[in-house]
Structure 1
Amino acid sequence: MIRKIRSKLSVKVFFITLLLVAACCSVTYLCIARFAPYVYSHELAEAEELAELFATELSNIPQDEVPFFLPNYDDMLADRFDGEFIIRIFNSSGKEVTLPHLDTITGRKVEDFKSGDLSKPYAVSLLDGGEEYSLLIAKNAGKESQVVEALQKSLPILGIVVLVVSVIAAFFYSWYMTAPIKKVSRLSKQMADMDFSGLCSTTRTDEIGVLSISLNTLSQKLGAALSDLQEANQKLQADIDMERQLERQRVEFFSAASHELKTPITIIKGQLQGMLYQVGRYKDRETYLAQSLEVTDNLEKMVQELLTISRLDTPGYAFNPSPIHFDKLIQDRLITNEDLFMQRELTVEKDISPEVCISGDLQLLQKVVDNLLGNAAAYSPAGERIMVNVWQADEKAHLTIENTGVHIP
């Protein structure tokens, strides 16, 4: 229970507000109960003028007329001071006598009253002589006790009212203060979990409302920034993967190229050594010099391909595309490689649509087509066919080169 109270702001605000309201109401009640009997609007000294007047008038009347005058004095005193004071008369022995006949002793003495509750005594000697009395004005203790009794009787009802009001006030205050804070807390937890889709709805314009609006703005900006960052990371990862793939292909290519270069170099070296030392068949230098020249030409082509690839990998290389009639390019490369096809005894079947236009680098495209045609010729047995098709569909140029007699396992 204590742990739940400590962990919930709304519960803490509820109990704090409940205790504060209950404490304020209780202190107010205690102050009223304690000080209400003593906060009269009149002071005892103000009533002494009437006490002196009453004493003077009583001294001028006989005892048998006292019952007619004293009630009038009581009424006058009650009207002027709202019943806060009453008349008290004591005999010469200091004992209180009953009003208005002055013939019965109540049993109380002057010493039984607090000094602050009585005015100073005024001597009263009745006209027909007899005993001498003292007239005093005293606070009405009965009225004080009525106030205290009324407060005591109202204590249970007031306690229930205070409790109900305190609970309602605490509930409303805790809801009003903590409801927007709960929304802010939920949104901040979503943001901590990298979820920026939530918003904190509020219509308040105070500091909590400003905080909610600022948190919404922060969430939106962080969400947009995170989305951009994720897209950038995906693009970067794709670029890295592509670069790695290109690097692998580059390594594989240079490995294969090194192997391809080694073969003609070995052939040329062997032929040159044989012709230099005139060993066996290599005595016929003219024949093998021609073969060496042919091998050198192939080697030159391979070196040119390596240079082209190296140039393409150069960061400063500029790719300059231009409009190209792709159908005419294929026709031209077929004518260029016609002797190769004749040497290999291959038949070329072509189906080339006219007016097939593309945009690209002419020299690079020529190398690509020459490589494709050269591979088709190199790996096709004699007497087979090479079928070349060129057409345009969906605003794209299509090229297929198919050789018969062999297949990729």
Structure 2
Amino acid sequence: MIRKIKSKLSVKVFLITSMLMVACCSVTYLCIAHFAPYIYSHDLAEVEELADMLSEELSHIPKEEVQYFIQGYNDILTKQYDDEFAFHLFQNSGNEIALSDLNEFTGNKIDDYKSTDTTREYEISFADSTEAYILLLAKNTNKESQVVLALQKTLPILSVAILLVSVIAAFFYTWYMTKPIKKISKLSKQMADMDFSGLCPTNRTDEIGVLSHSLNDLSKKLAAALSELQEANQKLQADIDMERRLEKQRVEFFAAASHELKTPITIIKGQLQGMLYQVGRYKDRETYLAQSLEITDTLGKMVQELLTISRLDTPGYTCKKSNLNLSNFIIDRITVFEDLFMQKDLTVEQSISPEIYILGDMQLLQKALDNLLGNAAAYSGAGNQILIKLWKETETTTLTIENTGAHIPDEAISKLFEPFYRVDQSRNRQTGGTGLGLYIVKTILDLHGAKIEITNTIQGVIVSVQF
């Protein structure tokens, strides 16, 4: 029971309020009982005879003996009539004379006793004085009234009434005080369970209302913080997944690189051993030395491209961008490739908008553009065209390179930017290259925030780059 009381705020408030109400009512009752006037047990008619006797006798005694004479009658009233009555002496003007000294006044007036039960007023004069005085017998207002008796009689009923009123008042007071606190407690439990959907009522302006507002604000802020934390966790998980994918790509890349490097090295090793031991066809050293040199050149290009990829994929690598005139830059690179296009019997048509500037790393963009132009020349048959266009619309600069007479299988387009991927699965060096060119192009363009797309057209294949 005690444990339940300690754990329930409503029970505590109810008991404390009930006890306070009972205590306050009890103190009020005691104060009333203590300060209420007493009950009068004698009637005024019983003492009127004494008033008549005193008024008659005072006219036969001198003034200096009056106070002793009146005091003697007051003593009789005290003993025989329980001090419920007292004599009062007034001047003819109405001022009350102190009985202890007839030359002093009490400060009261005869009119002050009109609300009290009194005998009639007796006009008297003393034996040695012709001055008129007024004698009055009145109830002693210092005695308590019937309230005390009434309170004593009503004490049992009053006690039950006090108890009932205290319990009812304590119940409603407890309900009023603890109802919002219970709601706040319920909301705090929800918040502890990471549920921030509930809100406290805020229709109060007192401290509980302020607490409700504060708790609602805290709930909203915690919900926002939790949402941000979840987003951060999701982002972190996405970063972890991305890192795993990148790690997987690195493993696959180095596995493919090892395979790609192993093939030409094995070929060179076999040719050199054949020529060294003059086995069969390898006796023609000039032919196979030339082939070995060609494979070595290809191997050198592959190593250079691997070094380029390693540099571009280094964490924290940033390219050195500057304001580059892309129009003049593309025209210059086309000029460099003119001899190759003539050897391939290819016609170049260009539509380059002048004075288009971008922020870019000229060396990296040169490598990317050279790879694209080289691919266009390599995969276009003799007599075909290479169409190069550059234009700008609003905030986007677009470069397209289309080579006619070529086609890429649809299933291969999505894999073109993978390292070591070649459409020609036979890996023929005459038609395939190293398989790293487009991967390097994509990496460089990603560093510049550009997008690249390769699609088939009616005439051939088009590469679209958007800066």
TM-score by length of 2: 0.53
CA deviation string 1:156-178 (max 9, x = no partner): 46634652354235423552x43
Partner residue, 1:305: 305
Partner residue, 1:292: 292
Aligned 8 A contact 1:197 1:223 in 2? no
Q: CA deviation at 1:321?
A: 1.0
Partner residue, 2:268: 268
Aligned 8 A contact 1:388 1:400 in 2? yes
User: Residues 146, 406 of structure 1: CA spacing in aligned structure 2 closer, same or farther, 3 A cutoff?
Assistant: closer
Partner residue, 2:255: 255
Measure, in 1, the Cα distance between the counterparts of 2:190 and 2:280.
87
Partner residue, 1:359: 359
CA deviation string 1:36-70 (max 9, x = no partner): 7xx998xxxxxxxxxxxxxxxxxxxxxxxxxxxxx
User: Residues 334, 263 of structure 1: CA spacing in aligned structure 2 closer, same or farther, 3 A cutoff?
Assistant: farther
Q: CA deviation at 1:371?
A: 2.7
- Note the 1:117-136 alignment, pairs <5 A: none
Question: AA paired with 2:288?
Answer: Y
User: Residues 274, 306 of structure 1: CA spacing in aligned structure 2 closer, same or farther, 3 A cutoff?
Assistant: same
Aligned residues: 318
Partner residue, 2:135: none
Aligned 8 A contact 1:349 1:385 in 2? yes
Partner residue, 2:189: 189
Aligned 8 A contact 1:347 1:386 in 2? yes
Aligned 8 A contact 2:37 2:145 in 1? no
Say whether 1:80 aligns with 2:83.
yes
Partner SS for 2:264: helix
Larger deviation, residues 347-356 vs 152-161? 152-161
User: Residues 166, 188 of structure 1: CA spacing in aligned structure 2 closer, same or farther, 3 A cutoff?
Assistant: same
Partner residue, 1:405: 406
Measure, in 1, the Cα distance between the counterparts of 2:304 and 2:374.
15
Partner residue, 2:173: 172
Say whether 1:388 aligns with 2:388.
yes
Q: CA deviation at 1:375?
A: 3.6
Measure, in 1, the Cα distance between the counterparts of 2:371 and 2:243.
24
- Note the 1:100-115 alignment, pairs <5 A: none
Q: CA deviation at 1:264?
A: 2.5
User: Residues 274, 317 of structure 1: CA spacing in aligned structure 2 closer, same or farther, 3 A cutoff?
Assistant: same
Aligned 8 A contact 2:25 2:162 in 1? no
Q: CA deviation at 1:212?
A: 6.5
Larger deviation, residues 72-81 vs 229-238? 72-81
Measure, in 2, the Cα distance between the counterparts of 1:305 and 1:255.
16
Measure, in 2, the Cα distance between the counterparts of 1:274 and 1:326.
51
CA deviation string 1:59-100 (max 9, x = no partner): xxxxxxxxxxxxx967974472479xxxxxxxxxxxxxxxxx
Partner residue, 1:237: 237
Partner residue, 2:334: 334
Q: CA deviation at 1:307?
A: 0.8
Larger deviation, residues 387-396 vs 227-236? 227-236
Q: CA deviation at 1:213?
A: 7.9
Measure, in 1, the Cα distance between the counterparts of 2:387 and 2:401.
6
Measure, in 2, the Cα distance between the counterparts of 1:334 and 1:146.
123
Aligned 8 A contact 2:77 2:85 in 1? no
Partner SS for 1:80: coil
Question: AA paired with 1:80?
Answer: D
Partner SS for 1:398: strand
Aligned 8 A contact 1:200 1:216 in 2? no
Partner residue, 1:371: 371
User: Residues 361, 297 of structure 1: CA spacing in aligned structure 2 closer, same or farther, 3 A cutoff?
Assistant: same
Question: AA paired with 2:13?
Answer: V
Gaps of 5+ in 2: 39-74, 87-143, 412-467
Measure, in 2, the Cα distance between the counterparts of 1:182 and 1:5.
15
User: Residues 146, 252 of structure 1: CA spacing in aligned structure 2 closer, same or farther, 3 A cutoff?
Assistant: closer
Q: CA deviation at 1:305?
A: 1.1
TM-score by length of 1: 0.59
Measure, in 2, the Cα distance between the counterparts of 1:337 and 1:197.
70
CA deviation string 1:167-218 (max 9, x = no partner): 235423552x43553454244234322529957856446xx78877876776
Partner residue, 2:319: 319
Measure, in 2, the Cα distance between the counterparts of 1:162 and 1:268.
112
Measure, in 1, the Cα distance between the counterparts of 2:250 and 2:373.
22
Measure, in 2, the Cα distance between the counterparts of 1:276 and 1:342.
40
Q: CA deviation at 1:306?
A: 0.9
Aligned 8 A contact 2:349 2:387 in 1? yes
- Note the 1:91-106 alignment, pairs <5 A: none
Q: Comparing both structures, which one devotes a greater share of its residues to helix?
A: 1
Aligned 8 A contact 2:261 2:299 in 1? yes
Aligned 8 A contact 1:322 1:359 in 2? yes
Larger deviation, residues 222-231 vs 234-243? 222-231
Partner SS for 1:354: coil
Q: CA deviation at 1:345?
A: 4.7
CA deviation string 1:248-274 (max 9, x = no partner): 333333333333323332332333333
Partner residue, 2:423: none
Gaps of 5+ in 1: 42-71, 84-142
Aligned 8 A contact 1:389 1:401 in 2? yes
Larger deviation, residues 306-315 vs 285-294? 285-294
Measure, in 2, the Cα distance between the counterparts of 1:165 and 1:316.
77
Question: AA paired with 2:367?
Answer: K
User: Residues 259, 371 of structure 1: CA spacing in aligned structure 2 closer, same or farther, 3 A cutoff?
Assistant: farther
Q: CA deviation at 1:303?
A: 0.7
